[in-house]
Structure 1
Amino acid sequence: MTPRIASILMPLVRGIDPERAHDLALRALRFGLAGADRGADDPILATTAFGIPFRNPVGLAAGFDKSAVAIGPLMRLGFGFVEAGSVTPRPQIGNPKPRLFRLSEDRAVINRMGMNNAGLAAFVARLNALPRPRPAVLGANIAINKEKADPFRDYPALYAAVAPVADYVAVNVSSPNTPGLRDLQGEEQLRQVLAALAATRAGLAGPRPPIVVKIAPDLAPGAVEPVVEAAIAHGVEGLIVSNTTIARPAPLRSPLKSQTGGLSGPPLRALSTEMLKRVARLSRGRNLTLIGCGGVGSGADAYEKLRAGASLVQLYAAFAYEGPALVPRIRRELAALLRRDGFREVADCVGVDIR
């Protein structure tokens, strides 16, 4: 099956309960039923971030494959990078069902999954089994368990465990579905977490992959600068802007809009892009790479994030709606927009709207 045929079947999948459909999609990917993108990347899309070469700047956000069961097949769909996770130290089943809601009228998703995943040991084993060289850059997104968690112990231990198998490590302190997790974005707690991570990283004898921190789009204006300063002070290489939102930007048409959880998809785009611009202005010229995430569903959306200060972009909800054929389409559209405006490469357009 080709990615195009897999995407044609997406309307049938959307008729199934969202979580059941997601599980079926992962199973189909595992068995190679989504095919692979055989098209070559346009050379204009090649870029470098964190000192790592990316074939293109379009990535899959964490949350799609929390337990790394289908990372290899996902990498073959044409993404420049794929982020597995969030993974927690111990397996956990997540929140009670139903916990995933498809807001079809808004092309959006609300989830309160609660980071259901198979735990660190299974996660690392699956990533370690991926054949090399990998067709895309691999990110590992780490988080803490809902119960019996110690952030200052758990994040460093998670980093040390995934460091040998990941190209970069994303620290999730912004999911709205784990009680107390977003409190770790507070200045003092975040500095303590990042200091513990830096100490562990410095002591590793093997690989020390770049660290990026994933933040919420709902941070108050006065809370953004301390996050940026803490990241820079402790050697963090980047920020992902942003996670899902607990806000409900108007207008939302779906009757499911009142469900509790994090909202993703087009209604998040403006909010996350404004946050991205704010972070980009604060971090400009300070060696902090930004990844734009939230509402990306087209080449134009990706281009907007790049112009707002992101060096890379991630998508999630649009991929869940449209399937594998979306990835090559975004790449084609993005390449055309870069050429239309006279850019020679992705890096040339990063942050042009905030200069």
Structure 2
Amino acid sequence: MVTTTAVFWRKMRDLGYVAVGGAACFCGILYYKNDPKFHRIVTVPLLHAMDPERSHRLSILALKYKLLPKRQDTPHPSLRTKILGMDCSSPIGLAAGYDKDGEAVEGLFRLGFGFVEIGSVTPKPQPGNPGPRVFRLSEDEAVINRYGFNSRGHAEVYENLSSLPPPGQRNAPVGINLGKNKYSTDHVADYKEGVRLLAPLADYLVINVSSPNTPGLRGLQAGGALAELLDGVQLELAEHVKRHPQQRRPPLLVKIAPDLSENELRNICSVLINKKVDGIIVGNTTVTRPSTLRSSHKHEVGGLSGKPLEERATNVIRTVATITKGELPIIGCGGICDGAGVYAKLRSGASAVQLYTALVYGGPTLVAEIEDQLLHLMTRDGFSSVSDVIGADLKEKEQRHVLQ
């Protein structure tokens, strides 16, 4: 004989199954629809419950196997732009450091980036620095990392990218960010090897001399060392053109730090123009620590990225744009977390921008949200295209100077 109590608990159990099943279905629908609120309330907190490096790896795998829903809309036509001869659906790209080994490029296309940069890639595999080596500064919407160019090496990156359509035929341009091995005795040879092997797979190439986590790397930004490095890289790129006459020569950019003085920036820009580099990425993580930081991790050694870097990076972009007077296209990177940040960097002279840390806090729908915000700002101020926005602040300053 079934007791009243047994019947009650059986009903409660069945009700629990229904509630759990209903909640799972509801979450599944929101996930499939790529609902921004769902990702901020559920996806991001779940990832933040894990160790930062582990959650990073999990996100790469989710993108690699296309477990995240594809963005359903397309960027507004006003956001289409061209930089260094490359057509981009929007000026918002992914910075190097997220997909170091080129595993998840197609998944990243699905998020809606206008272009994607992988790396930094080193010639030989290396593990990078010991952990823990990445820290979330949640109160500051920032991250400190000291990865130290952890890379699976050129050969594996070549294999990963070989599965993609060739340059110029992809959903978006793919840049390859090149680094050197930590204990290399010939850094020029390291970068040349990267050009030799990976240039055939690159829509553009980046020489990274600005990470703070590889000993001696930032010293390569100095005039003489930088000139020597670029001489070697340009020679190797010329050989690439001879070997692949039917392929478009990938533009060459140099990525610099945001911690340089104006005089250092002038010297670097002079070398880049003299050595016929095609563009510059401003900048990388910073070794400075703003007094506004609140997180208990603020004193960790490594490069700081995220919102606290925004103003510094924008100021360096403005300085470089003023120095180069349009001779050197700029990709702006550092602290972007919303459309206003993109807009400020474009107005300061950047031709396109990159983000990374903002994804840690904004989730996979962030690119579409930022594009909507950027389009609103452009429309408000009467700009019908990205090209009209580029350097607008500098042009207005020059016009005021002329009128005076």
TM-score of the pair, normalised by structure 2: 0.86
Q: How much has 1:142 moved relative to structure 2?
A: 0.4
Give the alignment of 1:235-274 within 5 angstroms. 235-274=276-315
Supply the AA of the counterpart residue of 2:320. Answer: V
Q: Which has the higher contact order (CA 8 A, sep 6+)?
A: 1
Matched, 1:185 2:225: no
Counterpart of 1:338? 378
Match for residue 92 of structure 1 among 126, 140, 153: 126
Could you tell me how far apart the structure 1 residues matched to 2:150 and 2:140 are?
25
Gaps (5+ residues) in structure 1? none
Matched, 1:160 2:200: no
SS class of match (1:174)? coil
Could you tell me how far apart the structure 1 residues matched to 2:216 and 2:369 are?
38
Counterpart of 2:138? 104
Supply the AA of the counterpart residue of 1:303. Answer: Y
- Do the aligned partners of 1:211 and 1:238 also contact (CA within 8 Å) in 2? yes
Shift in alpha-carbon separation, 1:2–1:212, aligned structure 2, 3 A: farther
- Do the aligned partners of 1:6 and 1:34 also contact (CA within 8 Å) in 2? no
Could you tell me how far apart the structure 2 residues matched to 1:2 and 1:170 are?
35
Q: How much has 1:148 moved relative to structure 2?
A: 2.2
Supply the AA of the counterpart residue of 2:259. Answer: D
Matched, 1:203 2:239: yes
- Do the aligned partners of 1:89 and 1:154 also contact (CA within 8 Å) in 2? yes
Q: How much has 1:203 moved relative to structure 2?
A: 2.0
- Structure 1 residue runs of 4+, over 6 Å off? none
- Do the aligned partners of 1:3 and 1:323 also contact (CA within 8 Å) in 2? no
Q: How much has 1:149 moved relative to structure 2?
A: 4.0
Range that drifts further, 124-133 or 169-178: 124-133
Could you tell me how far apart the structure 2 residues matched to 1:267 and 1:274 are?
13
- Do the aligned partners of 1:2 and 1:34 also contact (CA within 8 Å) in 2? no
Could you tell me how far apart the structure 2 residues matched to 1:98 and 1:60 are?
24
Q: How much has 1:2 moved relative to structure 2?
A: 4.7
Supply the AA of the counterpart residue of 1:334. Answer: L
Q: How much has 1:6 moved relative to structure 2?
A: 4.7
Q: How much has 1:117 moved relative to structure 2?
A: 1.2
Give the alignment of 1:275-286 within 5 angstroms. 275-286=316-327
Instruction: Please identify which structure carries the higher helix content.
Output: 2
Matched, 1:351 2:391: yes
Q: How much has 1:220 moved relative to structure 2?
A: 2.1
- Do the aligned partners of 1:95 and 1:113 also contact (CA within 8 Å) in 2? yes
Matched, 1:25 2:65: no
Matched, 1:172 2:172: no
SS class of match (1:82)? strand
Give the alignment of 1:41-80 within 5 angstroms. 41-80=75-114
Counterpart of 1:292? 332
Range that drifts further, 214-223 or 257-266: 214-223
Give the alignment of 1:308-323 within 5 angstroms. 308-323=348-363
Shift in alpha-carbon separation, 1:3–1:141, aligned structure 2, 3 A: farther
Supply the AA of the counterpart residue of 1:24. Answer: L
Shift in alpha-carbon separation, 1:199–1:19, aligned structure 2, 3 A: same
Could you tell me how far apart the structure 1 residues matched to 2:107 and 2:133 are?
26
Matched, 1:141 2:186: no
Q: How much has 1:50 moved relative to structure 2?
A: 0.5
What's the CA shift string for 1:162-206, capped at 9, x where partnerless? 111110011100000000000000000000111111111122222
Match for residue 121 of structure 1 among 155, 168, 181: 155
Aligned length: 354
Match for residue 328 of structure 1 among 360, 368, 373: 368
Q: How much has 1:337 moved relative to structure 2?
A: 1.0
Shift in alpha-carbon separation, 1:69–1:81, aligned structure 2, 3 A: same
Could you tell me how far apart the structure 2 residues matched to 1:9 and 1:165 are?
33
Could you tell me how far apart the structure 2 residues matched to 1:281 and 1:151 are?
31
Could you tell me how far apart the structure 2 residues matched to 1:149 and 1:136 are?
36
Q: How much has 1:128 moved relative to structure 2?
A: 1.2
Could you tell me how far apart the structure 2 residues matched to 1:247 and 1:2 are?
40
Could you tell me how far apart the structure 1 residues matched to 2:204 and 2:145 are?
25
Could you tell me how far apart the structure 2 residues matched to 1:6 and 1:26 are?
16
- Do the aligned partners of 1:76 and 1:135 also contact (CA within 8 Å) in 2? no
SS class of match (1:9)? helix
Could you tell me how far apart the structure 1 residues matched to 2:96 and 2:178 are?
10
SS class of match (2:298)? helix
Match for residue 10 of structure 1 among 27, 37, 44: 44
SS class of match (1:141)? strand
- Do the aligned partners of 1:242 and 1:293 also contact (CA within 8 Å) in 2? yes
TM-score of the pair, normalised by structure 1: 0.97
Q: How much has 1:235 moved relative to structure 2?
A: 1.4
Q: How much has 1:324 moved relative to structure 2?
A: 1.0
Supply the AA of the counterpart residue of 1:123. Answer: V
Could you tell me how far apart the structure 2 residues matched to 1:147 and 1:212 are?
24
What's the CA shift string for 1:109-167, capped at 9, x where partnerless? 00000111110000011111114632111110000010124122111220121111110
What's the CA shift string for 1:195-230, capped at 9, x where partnerless? 111111122222420011100001122111111011
Counterpart of 1:230? 271
Percent of paired sites with the same residue: 46
- Do the aligned partners of 1:217 and 1:245 also contact (CA within 8 Å) in 2? yes
SS class of match (1:256)? coil
